[in-house]
Amino acid sequence: MNEQPGLLERLGPQARLQSELTKLDSQNRDVWVLIVFAAAVLVLGALSLLSPASFWQQNALEFKIPPQFLFVIMMIVMVLGLYMVRRELEVRKLRLLNVQHAFAAQSELSASMVDSLTNVFSRSFLRELLQGEIARAERNTRPLGLVMCDVDNFKQVNDRYGHLMGDYVLAQIAGILKACVRGSDYVVRYGGDEFLLVLSETDESGSRTVMNRIRQKVTEWDRSNRLGDVTLGISLGLHQHAPGETAEQAVSEADARMYADKQIPGHKNAVPANPRPPHA
């Protein structure tokens, strides 16, 4: 019995709500028992009115209260008691249902914040996330690193092996990114095969350490899971947030530096040096 609270805590708020609703159902059964008891009392009281000689000695109690008056008092008290108990249970049930609806709405909101394919944060959550992280970094005078990531040769995977294989590759890359950052950092699917890392309280040196780790892990994965002659890699663009810079400016800088990474001579996936179109 002592382990039940801990078990409910592990199961989460939905389980606790369900437990409370079960208690309410049990209390409702208790109310019906009380109603049956009250009905029995009322029946006895009615019989005492119809045939007082069978229930009362000399038609009065020891306190000299007439049975008719006592019956009326009992009836009023019983009805009021049942009304108050029933009203309290209904109010509690409504409150719990409201909380349950709030949790359901919160669950839907949480689902919209996570990309279902890669299981990382979705772009719809990015603006709110960055504004909060930027405000915290500037308030505490702490560094904030942003790393834009783009999977090299990803279009070839889709063209040759289909979108299902492309989805598999994206999920694998997302898993690598999550494994290369801390629990306090964020991985966001920015769009298509691009991801944005938000590295809280991380200076340039720490951000580059993360980038090197990602390159190594992606290279290792590609060697072990080579898709024909398609060599997968990753281009990375690092930007350290500057005080007064907006979230859009910071992301734009990281995006530009990631694209510049593809222009480096010798990059296996270098593309023509022309302006990059705005991200859709």
Alpha-carbon gap, residue 42 to 79, rounded angstroms? 10
**What is the total residue count of the chain?**
280
State residue 257's pLDDT score.
94
H-state helical runs in 123-162: 126-140, 154-161
* Strand-strand pairing, 194-200 and 233-240: unpaired
What letter represents residue 83's amino acid?
Y
Q: What's the token pair of residue 237?
A: 């663009």
Per-residue buried b or exposed e for 20-30, using 16+ beta carbons within 10 Å of the residue's own CB: beeebeeeeee
Supply the Cα-derived Rg of the chain in whole angstroms. Answer: 34
Q: What's the token pair of residue 99?
A: 């909380």
Alpha-carbon gap, residue 29 to 100, rounded angstroms? 22
Category of 153 on φ-ψ map: left (φ > 0), alpha (ψ -120 to 50) or beta:
left
Dmax (CA) for the chain in angstroms is 115
Contact 157, 226 (CB under 8 A): no
* Strand-strand pairing, 194-200 and 144-152: antiparallel
Global pTM reads 0.60
What letter represents residue 106's amino acid?
Q
Catalytic residues: 193
State which residues of the chain have pLDDT below 50. Answer: 1-12, 61-64, 268-280
- End-to-end, the C-alpha distance of the chain in Å comes to 56
State residue 205's pLDDT score.
95
Give the three-state DSSP class for 51: coil
State residue 17's pLDDT score.
56
Alpha-carbon gap, residue 133 to 110, rounded angstroms? 18
State residue 174's pLDDT score.
95
Fold exhibited by the domain 123-262: Alpha-Beta Plaits (3.30.70)
Could you tell me which residues come within 8 angstroms of residue 161 by beta carbon, excluding any fewer than 6 positions away? 227, 228
State residue 31's pLDDT score.
62
Neighbours of 204 (CB within 10 A): 12
Task: Give the HSE-up count for residue 109: Cα atoms under 13 Å, Cβ half-sphere.
Answer: 7
